[in-house]
Amino acid sequence: DAGITQSPRHKVTETGTPVTLRCHQTENHRYMYWYRQDPGHGLRLIHYSYGVKDTDKGEVSDGYSVSRSKTEDFLLTLESATSSQTSVYFCAISESGGNEKLFFGSGTQLSVL
Amino acid sequence: SQQGEEDPQALSIQEGENATMNCSYKTSINNLQWYRQNSGRGLVHLILIRSNEREKHSGRLRVTLDTSKKSSSLLITASRAADTASYFCATVLSGGYQKVTFGTGTKLQVIP
């Protein structure tokens, strides 16, 4: 299995609070992605990174920000959590972006009450 | 709406039968990938087919790509109970090789 760790695995928070999810990789892959998975929507891309300090928006980036200060860590922050952000969040990594396969973490179940 | 849409949304078959899932997309692609997700787990890559390829095989998996129809199909032959999972197609747009966007998935149930 690719070395990807997502933390926390589960989190319950209240509306309006900031939340940060962490994705840590030991593969030294250049590309990292954050997706959210909701019933009926499959996986939707939130943000992705193509190098340290290089990030771009995906399909559903509103309300989310990301940071990548070193190769191995990609942080996803919900600036002010809302109930609509209750979801399962997956991190993925790739050596060469979409040219090759993605490896996925185990996911973070986030509930915003 | 999303780039990829799988059809059917759900499929139930008997063990030993073949399962076919389809994926349609909207704009020109660089490649198309198929992934499997077991309940509550992360996605696992199955196969990648590039835009200049028409068919690829991997074990019991066969993927076809028809760029003129903007569609792909995943065939699982001689299905097993362990194939029960959700299957997703993912597309990488031409010129946008960094973004990987997923469809809504097909939920496959293989009955022993």
Tens-digit pLDDT profile for residues A18-33: 999 999 999 999 999 9
Residue A59, burial from CB neighbour count under 10 angstroms (0-12, 13-18, 19+)? middle
Q: Is the Cβ of B92 closer than 8 Å to some Cβ of chain A?
A: yes
Q: How far is B81 from chain A (nearest CA, A)?
A: 22
Spatial contact of A87 and A81, defined as CB atoms under 8 Å apart? no
Q: Do A59 and B2 touch (CB under 8 A)?
A: yes
User: What is the Cα–Cα distance from A76 to A66, expressed in whole angstroms?
Assistant: 5
pLDDT tens string A32-84: 999 999 988 889 999 999 999 999 999 999 999 999 999 999 999 999 999 99
Is pLDDT of B2 > 60? no
Strand partners, B14: B111
Tokens representing residue B71 in the block: 């569609």
pLDDT in tens, B29-54: 999 999 999 988 899 999 999 999 99
Chain A contact for B2, CB < 8 A?
A: yes
**Using 50, 70 and 90 to split pLDDT, how confident is the model at B8?**
very high
Q: Is the pLDDT of residue B26 over 70?
A: yes
Which residues from A are below 8 Å from B33, CB to CB?
Answer: 101-102
The percent of residues in chain A predicted with pLDDT above 70, rounded, is 98
| pLDDT for residue B1 | 47
Determine, for residues B43 and A42 on separate chains, whether the beta-carbon distance falls below 8 Å: no
**Quick one: average pLDDT of B48-72?**
96
pLDDT recorded at residue B97: 66
* Residue range B81-100: mean pLDDT, rounded: 88
CB distance from B34 to chain A under 8 Å?
no
Query: Which of B7 and B13 is assigned the larger pLDDT?
Result: B13
The chain-wide mean pLDDT, for chain B, equals 92
Q: Do A102 and B45 touch (CB under 8 A)?
A: yes
d(CA A99, CA A91): 17
Contacts of A44 in chain B (CB under 8 A): 2, 102
pLDDT at B6: 87
B96 shares contact with chain A (CB less than 8 Å): yes
Q: How many CA atoms lie within 13 A of B13 on its CB side?
A: 24
Inform me whether the pLDDT recorded for A103 exceeds 90: yes
| Distance of residue A65 Cα from the nearest chain B Cα, in angstroms | 17
Q: From chain A, pick out residues whose CB is under 8 angstroms from the CB of B48.
A: 100-101
